[in-house]
Amino acid sequence: MNIPGDQARLQAHYDALGAGQDAEAWYEDPAFDDLCANCRFEEARAVVEVGCGTGRFAERLLRSHLTPRATYFGLDLSTVMVNLTRSRLAEFGARCRIEQGDAAAGLPLGEGVADRVVMTFVLDLLTPAETAAVLDEARRVLAPGGVLCAASLDRGRGLASRLRSFGWNLVHAIAPLKVGGCRPLTLPDTLGPGWSASYYVRRSIRNCAIASISAQPLPESWDEHG
Ligand SMILES: C[S@@+](CC[C@H](N)C(=O)[O-])C[C@H]1O[C@@H](n2cnc3c(N)ncnc32)[C@H](O)[C@@H]1O
């Protein structure tokens, strides 16, 4: 949101919202469906999720897509969200670890420990500097062949979804927390040239435009010489 103290306000917002975040399922679930259909979670050994929220997507992955040996690590800025995810995933035991923290300040993980980094409806609330930091961290923790799996609000294509997206931007400009700090974006542009997308799907759900993508980091030298 680019205003000093924003992160504390964002954290307070998501602490207060808590389980209310699940009311966004009507447009989030179709993006989750696309990620599950395209990101080959069945082959994953270690999944890292940035901004896990209430743990709704994590539960779906653990219940229906990951093998029993695959591990899950979730991070969220909000302690309330961390506690909700911990309770939700308690039945999966030691395979899951959930911590509170700011992903832009760094992921508490070693290099190359993950083969999927998941971010659903998180890139759309980060500042450009935070986005760059979080993407660098995703690149660092992904093992060779690992994949970033992301979903976000999208700018829309048809007139109705573009109008809704315009309205969303307007509210974001005036009172960003009214829309959870989120604003529509174009995922491939947000990832930038350092990532190679293997799929990118855009949809409109009741005129709310959403998108999902999976992408692999290109070698860092690609940026310099490519
Ligand atoms: C719009 S919610 C989406 C939650 C969940 N991923 C979903 O799709 O339902 C954004 C989440 O990202 C978390 N978040 C925001 N900035 C963050 C940061 N810098 N590091 C970690 N989590 C962050 C918020 O606390 C919130 O739980």
The confidence band for 26, taking pLDDT boundaries of 50, 70 and 90, is very high
pTM of the model: 0.94
The confidence band for 226, taking pLDDT boundaries of 50, 70 and 90, is very low
| Range in 6-10, 59-63, 89-93 the model is least confident about | 6-10
Distance 98 CA to ligand 1 centre (A): 13
Residue of 77, 117, 205 to test ligand 1 pocket, by largest number of atoms within 8 Å of CB: 77
Cβ–ligand 1 contact at 135 (below 6 Å): no
Domain residue ranges of the chain, discontinuous segments joined by +: 6-225
**From CA 101, how far away is CA 96, in angstroms rounded?**
16
The pLDDT tens digits for 159-185 are: 888 888 888 888 888 888 888 888 899
Alpha helices in 3-120 (DSSP H): 6-17, 25-38, 56-64, 79-88
Distance 81 CA to ligand 1 centre (A): 8
Distance 53 CA to ligand 1 centre (A): 5
Cβ–ligand 1 contact at 78 (below 6 Å): yes
Q: Indicate the average pLDDT of the chain.
A: 93
CA dihedral over 178, 180, 186, 190, signed as positive or negative: positive
- pLDDT at position 131 is 97
Residue 134 alpha carbon, nearest atom of ligand 1: 19
The confidence band for 216, taking pLDDT boundaries of 50, 70 and 90, is very high
Residue 172 three-state SS: helix
Average pLDDT, integer, range 11-34: 96
* The CATH number of the domain covering residues in 6-225: 3.40.50.150
- pLDDT at position 192 is 96
- pLDDT at position 225 is 45
Residue nearest to atom 1 of ligand 1 (CA): 121
- pLDDT over 90 at 35, yes or no: yes
Distance 221 CA to ligand 1 centre (A): 31
Order of strands across the sheet that contains 195-205? 96-100, 71-76, 46-50, 114-120, 142-153, 208-217, 195-205
Distance 226 CA to ligand 1 centre (A): 33
- pLDDT at position 110 is 98
Average pLDDT, integer, range 56-68: 98
**From CA 119, how far away is CA 152, in angstroms rounded?**
8
Average pLDDT, integer, range 30-38: 98
Using alpha carbons, list the distances in angstroms from residue 204 to 149, 156, 182.
19, 7, 17
